[in-house]
Amino acid sequence: MEFPGSRRLVLVLTLASLLGMSMANKEWGSGFNQSAWGWGRGPYHPQNQTQGPNKINVGGSENWHFGFNYSEWAFKNGPFYFNDSLVFKYDPPSNTTFPHSVYLLPNLWSYLNCDLRRAKMIANATQGGGEGFHFVLNRWRPYYFACGERNGLHCRDGRMKFMVVPYFRWNH
């Protein structure tokens, strides 16, 4: 049985938690940053000093591979901004490398459990070569990314997953 207004309550709680996540960096607009986003970097990600969208290589120089903690990488390298492009670079499958892919998971539960049943493949095993696969953060919403290879094994055991909620870019 569904109670009247329960959907509205869930919506309000979801919006409140998104706002809370986006405002978690108390010093965001002051130019001084001692929060978990980094020491002394200022209120913006170093790649986001420009007015326009940026291309951000997922994993930095590590690229997209098994065994790297992408949740930690996203936390340390955030925040990310509306219309930024995430670039997933990975080696195409060969006799010496395992294939990788990129899935967009539909919700937090799927992300936490590496449940790919309702996920959408956004890049297959060959799309990460060369300049990589580009994904634009074009909506204000949580994005949950994971490698879908081996039925979620890379997500679960290889730590190939992360989430971002893009910030809006403010002009000074």
Domains and CATH numbers, the chain: 55-164 (2.60.40.420)
pTM tops 0.85 = no
What does pLDDT average to in each consecutive run of 10 residues of the chain (172 residues)?
54 48 41 39 46 90 95 95 96 86 97 96 94 95 95 92 92 59
The alpha carbon dihedral of 17, 21, 22, 27 has a sign of positive
Residue 11 CA, chain-centre distance (Å), reads 22
pLDDT value at position 134?
A: 97
What pLDDT is attached to residue 5?
Answer: 59
Q: What single string gives the DSSP state of each residue in 50-109?
A: SSS--EEETTGGG-S-TT--HHHHHHHH---BTT-EEEE--PPP-SSS----EEEESSHH
CA 19 to chain centre: 17
pLDDT of residue 49: 52
**Which pLDDT value is given to residue 4?**
57
Query: For residue 50, what pLDDT is reported?
Result: 52
Q: What is the pLDDT of residue 172?
A: 54
Residue with tokens 């002394």: 40
- pLDDT value at residue 43: 43
Q: Residue 19: its pLDDT value, please?
A: 45
Q: What are phi and psi of 82, to 5 degrees?
A: -50, 130
